[in-house]
Amino acid sequence: MNRNILITISGAALLSFGLLTGVTTNSEVSAAVKVGQSNRLERNAYIYNSQGHRTKKNVWKHGKKVLVLGEKTIKGKKYARIGRNQYIRLTNFKKYNTSSKPTALLKHNAYVFDKNGRRIKVASLKKNKIVTILGTRYIKGKKYYKIAKNRFIKAANATTSIVNKTSNNRNNLNQKSTGNNTNTGNVTNNNSTSVNSNAANNAGTVVTNTVNGSTVSSNVNSGSTVNASSSTSSSTSSEKPTNVENTSSDSSDSEKGLKVLHTSYVFDKAGNHILGRYAIKGSMAYVKNTALINGKQYYGLVGDDDDNIIGYVPVSAFDKNATGLKVTVSDKSFIQYKKDIDQLSSGIFNSFAYDLSSPAKKNAYRAAYSAAYEVGNFKYSTVEDMEAAKANLKQAIKDLDGKPVVVEGTYDNYILTSTQKSQILALVNKEYNVTDARFDPDGKYVIYTQDAQRKTTDIRPFIRFENKASFNPLQYMGNQVVKHDSFVYNDKGQRELGEFVSKGDKVRVSSYTKINGQIYYSFYNINGSDVYLTSDKFLPVSVFEENGKDEKFEPASKKEFDDFTKFLRNMNGQVYNHDIYELSSPTDRANYQKASGIGSRVANDDRSSQADIEIVEKQMKAVFAKLNGKKIQIEGKRKDHKYTKEEIEQILDLIARSRGIKNIKYVGISNDTIEYVVNHKNEQADTRFFVHFSDDDNNSWN
């Protein structure tokens, strides 16, 4: 059932994961909205569906705050997603422009610190990189620049005096004329290999590289792009892998940033492209030195963590006259490849084979899985790339050799033999790469030393019980696929209205607990690469078991949904942005907002039943009845009104009730502003929010 519903969204929490591994440049894009946050409408807005057609709903007024769940382009126009099949044009929102933020050039490698000056364990930022400065902070007397949320670098490591010039040079690096090209001489060696290299530069430095006895000289300017055209004639095959020996010892060793003009593979020193590694068009690549591999010129690609070369990018990737890669694989083949990868890797991360393998074999599997995933996302991947990535993944899976210790008994009742204890200790030593694992006195935990710290681990993750009736709740931790339709429950084992999971949904299980004697799991929803936090929501263990059963959904009819949607819209229309809500107590407002949020979930999910709708209607009517916000009514005109002592007390009482404060003391009143003291702090409020005059013609405040 595809439903277009206008409702008030009470809230959503978006949880994103990641580390600071790079920096932003001063060419940030101005964002019209902040996704995952409330954004204010700058003008009245219509609601549209996913086809860009205006729905027959009320206009949302300017000034209203709207929670934006995402962005989407429909027929060439950009929209903000605000609900299920509900969109508002981005042009209706207040714009947030970040393009004017200052930037700085790193003159030294820079560690990243938190707001307390403690170093954060992320990759250091490299010299000559450009960072966006979000603010300045002094920590323990030293000046720091803020570069992200709770991320700072020492100001001493950066300079702001030449950043614009540097940034412009980098951005325009590949657009300069090459009319000043110099032609290097042909160098012939015993392999009869000759190379003719054209380099765009003004004051170049000579880089000399030796490849299997061949000497190649080329002029390279540290601030420009090298356009290389190689002509090779050889009495031996140029297709053979070759090793690269860089013999340069001059200024060409310095790192420089070049803008990638053509998407390219990243190659190893033998000229083979590295699966899952690419230089993407439009990105900045930090390189140093040139090298000749199999008759082609490459730049050495510098890693993020150090100055070592981690691969090679063809010089042609930075040449505007060169051509890029071409798509050779159909969409159908890509889709099938991704299905194959999903099938191969399904359940591996939660298996004994992976969990109990050595760190080296787990790292090898993660690398193969990551490469296979990147190959599936790269539109220029070839059939050969896909087959190689699958073969590597299969081999990495085959190499996983973790095996648990088989123990007779159940999860809560077992006895270990001396041999089993020795086997468990061996697994712990392998798992944590230590040598001193030993049992605690009770025999339930293993103690080991790592990084000069004494640590403990439960032994049960290393055990498989022979008793088939035994259940290990740890087996369903982590990312899981829902196997059966189910309702979602709260911490008392009661259904959460409007909350469901269906077969095939992906969730991340974070912990388990017993509710009414049964095992339940708390979880996060997973949508693509995004993880959405759900607070105090639980799923029964049967959802993940093969022999579990689907819970039966009994959806309401279309008419019942439509009637409830109308009820919800009318109810919220009477409440939000009206005195009855705004001037009620915080508790009553929160109760109504919670009930309205449940109503929104029920209305938006076509699995909701008529019984769900009836329960929500009853709840909303109950909390609505408790809303009692109302302005103080005064006869006369607002202008020049002299408030009586009784009127002032009424205003203070209304302020205290609507804001949930106590012990409010009057200070004074002037025009439309009343001043008061709360908890020894002076505050003030606009009386127009709390008082209505009978002859007041300023209707916007009444």
Count CB neighbours of 535 within 10 A: 7
Q: Do 185 and 256 sit in the same domain of this protein? A: yes
Please check the confidence at residue 293 and state whether its pLDDT lies above 90: yes
Antiparallel, parallel or unpaired: β 413-414 and 409-410: antiparallel
CA 652 to chain centre: 45
Burial of 319 from C-beta contacts in 10 A (0-12 / 13-18 / 19+): buried
Give the C-alpha distances (Å, rounded to integers) separating 523 from 100, 506, 664: 40, 10, 43
User: Residue 471 has what pLDDT?
Assistant: 64
Give the pLDDT band of residue 289 (cuts 50, 70, 90). Answer: confident
User: Residue 575 has what pLDDT?
Assistant: 92
Q: Do 259 and 278 sit in the same domain of this protein? A: yes
Q: Residues for the chain: how many in total?
A: 702
Give backbone dihedrals phi and psi of 487, rounded to 5 degrees, phi first: -75, 165
Give the C-alpha distances (Å, rounded to integers) separating 527 from 14, 15, 277, 423: 11, 11, 25, 40
| Higher pLDDT among residues 534 and 392, named by residue | 392
| Cα separation, 293 vs 295, whole angstroms | 5
User: Residue 250 has what pLDDT?
Assistant: 35
The last residue of a domain, from among 433, 465, 497: 465
- Residue of 467, 466, 465, 457 lying closest to 425 (CA atoms): 457
Antiparallel, parallel or unpaired: β 103-106 and 158-159: antiparallel
Whether 112 contacts 122, CB under 8 Å: yes
Q: What percent of the chain has pLDDT over 70?
A: 76
Judge whether 424 lies within some domain. Answer: yes
Q: Do 307 and 437 sit in the same domain of this protein? A: no
The last residue of a domain, from among 347, 380, 399: 399
Please check the confidence at residue 187 and state whether its pLDDT lies above 50: no
| Cα separation, 567 vs 572, whole angstroms | 9
User: Residue 245 has what pLDDT?
Assistant: 36
Give the pLDDT band of residue 530 (cuts 50, 70, 90). Answer: low
Number of domains forming the structure of the chain: 6
Give the C-alpha distances (Å, rounded to integers) separating 614 from 94, 555, 602, 610: 38, 13, 11, 6
Please check the confidence at residue 14 and state whether its pLDDT lies above 60: no
| Cα separation, 445 vs 438, whole angstroms | 9
Q: Do 387 and 409 sit in the same domain of this protein? A: no
| Higher pLDDT among residues 612 and 302, named by residue | 612
Average of per-residue pLDDT values in the chain: 76
* Range in 120-134, 397-411, 589-603, 628-642 the model is least confident about: 120-134
User: Residue 211 has what pLDDT?
Assistant: 38
Judge whether 7 lies within some domain. Answer: no
- Which amino acid, one-letter code, is at 512? Y
Give the pLDDT band of residue 247 (cuts 50, 70, 90). Answer: very low
Judge whether 58 lies within some domain. Answer: no
Judge whether 184 lies within some domain. Answer: yes
User: Residue 624 has what pLDDT?
Assistant: 94
Judge whether 646 lies within some domain. Answer: yes
Please check the confidence at residue 233 and state whether its pLDDT lies above 50: no
User: Residue 448 has what pLDDT?
Assistant: 93
Helices (H), 418-557: 418-432
Q: Do 222 and 303 sit in the same domain of this protein? A: yes
| Cα separation, 556 vs 442, whole angstroms | 55
Whether 584 contacts 609, CB under 8 Å: no
Residues forming beta bridges with residue 207, ordered by sequence position: 218
The last residue of a domain, from among 417, 432, 465: 465
- Residue of 383, 247, 382, 216 lying closest to 315 (CA atoms): 216
| Higher pLDDT among residues 100 and 278, named by residue | 278
Averaged pLDDT for residues 482-499: 87
User: Residue 207 has what pLDDT?
Assistant: 38
User: Residue 433 has what pLDDT?
Assistant: 86
366-370 long-range contacts (CB < 8 A, ≥24 apart) are 367/396, 368/392, 368/393, 368/395, 368/396, 369/345, 369/393, 369/396, 370/276
| Cα separation, 395 vs 275, whole angstroms | 15
Give the C-alpha distances (Å, rounded to integers) separating 61 from 51, 91, 92: 23, 14, 10
Antiparallel, parallel or unpaired: β 665-670 and 673-678: antiparallel
Please check the confidence at residue 24 and state whether its pLDDT lies above 50: no
Averaged pLDDT for residues 76-101: 74
Please check the confidence at residue 392 and state whether its pLDDT lies above 80: yes
Give the pLDDT band of residue 255 (cuts 50, 70, 90). Answer: low
Whether 174 contacts 259, CB under 8 Å: yes
Averaged pLDDT for residues 548-571: 89
Please check the confidence at residue 27 and state whether its pLDDT lies above 60: no
- Which amino acid, one-letter code, is at 521? Y
DSSP state of 31: B
Q: Do 493 and 584 sit in the same domain of this protein? A: no
User: Residue 36 has what pLDDT?
Assistant: 65
User: Residue 34 has what pLDDT?
Assistant: 75
Q: Do 437 and 392 sit in the same domain of this protein? A: no
Q: pLDDT tens digits for 150-179? A: 889 988 888 764 333 333 333 333 333 333
- Residue of 470, 460, 466 lying closest to 428 (CA atoms): 460
Count CB neighbours of 540 within 10 A: 20
Give the pLDDT band of residue 11 (cuts 50, 70, 90). Answer: very low
Give the pLDDT band of residue 43 (cuts 50, 70, 90). Answer: confident
Q: Six-digit token pair at 129?
A: 């990189």
Q: Do 511 and 564 sit in the same domain of this protein? A: no
Please check the confidence at residue 698 and state whether its pLDDT lies above 70: no
Averaged pLDDT for residues 13-40: 46
| Higher pLDDT among residues 140 and 609, named by residue | 609
Count CB neighbours of 609 within 10 A: 16
Give the pLDDT band of residue 54 (cuts 50, 70, 90). Answer: confident
Judge whether 669 lies within some domain. Answer: yes
Give the pLDDT band of residue 364 (cuts 50, 70, 90). Answer: very high
* Range in 112-126, 228-242, 515-529, 592-606 the model is least confident about: 228-242
Q: Do 177 and 314 sit in the same domain of this protein? A: yes
Please check the confidence at residue 584 and state whether its pLDDT lies above 90: yes
CA angle (269, 204, 279) in 5-degree steps = 40
Whether 472 contacts 480, CB under 8 Å: no
Q: Do 207 and 299 sit in the same domain of this protein? A: yes
Element (H, E) at 663: none
Q: Do 591 and 649 sit in the same domain of this protein? A: no
Q: Give the contacts of 617 (CB within 8 A, at least 6 positions apart).
A: 564, 567, 599
Give backbone dihedrals phi and psi of 232, rounded to 5 degrees, phi first: -125, 130
Please check the confidence at residue 508 and state whether its pLDDT lies above 90: no
| Cα separation, 9 vs 68, whole angstroms | 10
- Residue of 570, 489, 584, 503 lying closest to 537 (CA atoms): 489
Judge whether 602 lies within some domain. Answer: yes
| Residue pointed to by tokens 């039966």 | 552
* Range in 377-386, 405-414, 469-478 the model is least confident about: 469-478
User: Residue 533 has what pLDDT?
Assistant: 56
Whether 279 contacts 263, CB under 8 Å: yes
| Cα separation, 198 vs 474, whole angstroms | 62
User: Residue 240 has what pLDDT?
Assistant: 37
CA angle (673, 677, 678) in 5-degree steps = 120
Count CB neighbours of 33 within 10 A: 25
Residues forming beta bridges with residue 31, ordered by sequence position: 96
Q: Do 501 and 518 sit in the same domain of this protein? A: yes
User: Residue 241 has what pLDDT?
Assistant: 38
Q: Six-digit token pair at 208?
A: 């000399």
- Domain membership of residue 409 as a residue range: 405-465
CA angle (199, 201, 206) in 5-degree steps = 70
Give backbone dihedrals phi and psi of 410, rounded to 5 degrees, phi first: -125, 175
User: Residue 527 has what pLDDT?
Assistant: 64
Q: Six-digit token pair at 461?
A: 């993750």
Judge whether 68 lies within some domain. Answer: no
Averaged pLDDT for residues 77-93: 84
